[in-house]
């Protein structure tokens, strides 16, 4: 794959997924964006070797509060999968509201790069892309 960066958005809110895709296309239409409205769908997708489709670096933007699996669980599983591969992953947790205990948990979790408040903006996407582009 020639792309150096791909982005995976995992959020149970379909509107947030749509907005994220549209904003990313405005920022850089060469980035391949994958969206999942269900945490177990992204984990199954990664387990079924779809990881080879991803670029050298993949940003995972994962909603904290989702049914079935929360964002912390998903981030842990994503990083575990990438530890065995030559590709890189960075996980950011998303939320419109955040509990102080979640903030502490994010700061203590070495597998999570940070927290991103919703709504996501074009400026935020530009910053993330600049930070992680090879």
| Per-residue pLDDT tens digits for 84-112 | 778 899 999 999 887 888 888 998 988 89
β-strand partners of 9: 35, 61
Is pTM beyond 0.85? Reply is yes
| Cβ neighbours around 106 below 10 Å, total | 20
Q: How many domains, the chain? A: 1
- Read off the CATH number of the domain in which 18 is found: 3.40.50.2300
| Residues in the chain, pLDDT under 70 | 1-3, 49, 134
In this predicted structure, what is the pLDDT of residue 78?
94
Give the model's pLDDT for residue 134. 59
Mean pLDDT value across the chain? 90
Q: What is the pLDDT of residue 2?
A: 39
For residues 78 and 91, is the Cβ–Cβ distance under 8 A?
Answer: yes
Enter the tokens of residue 22: 């549209």
Structure tokens at 116: 């991103």
Measured between alpha carbons, how far is 81 from 116 in angstroms, rounded to an integer?
Answer: 23
**Domain enclosing residue 85, as ranges:** 5-132
Helix (H, G, I), strand (E, B) or coil at 92: strand
Letter string b/e over residues 50-65, b meaning 16 or more CB atoms within 10 A of that residue's CB: ebeebbebbbbbbbbb
Contact of 106 with 114, CB cutoff 8 Å: yes
| Tokens coding 75 | 């981030």
């Amino acid at each position: 794959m020639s792309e150096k960066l791909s982005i995976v958005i995992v959020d149970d809110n379909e509107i947030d997924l749509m907005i994220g895709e549209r904003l990313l296309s405005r920022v850089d239409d060469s980035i391949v964006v994958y969206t999942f409205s269900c945490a177990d769908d992204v984990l199954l997708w990664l387990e079924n070797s779809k990881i080879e489709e991803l670029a050298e670096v993949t940003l995972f933007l994962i909603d904290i509060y989702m049914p079935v699996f929360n964002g912390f669980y998903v981030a842990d599983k994503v990083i575990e999968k990438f530890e065995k591969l030559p590709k890189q992953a960075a996980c950011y947790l998303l939320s419109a509201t955040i509990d102080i205990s979640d903030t502490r948990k994010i700061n203590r979790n070495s597998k999570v790069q940070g927290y991103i408040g919703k709504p996501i903006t074009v400026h935020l996407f530009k910053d993330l892309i600049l930070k992680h582009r090879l």
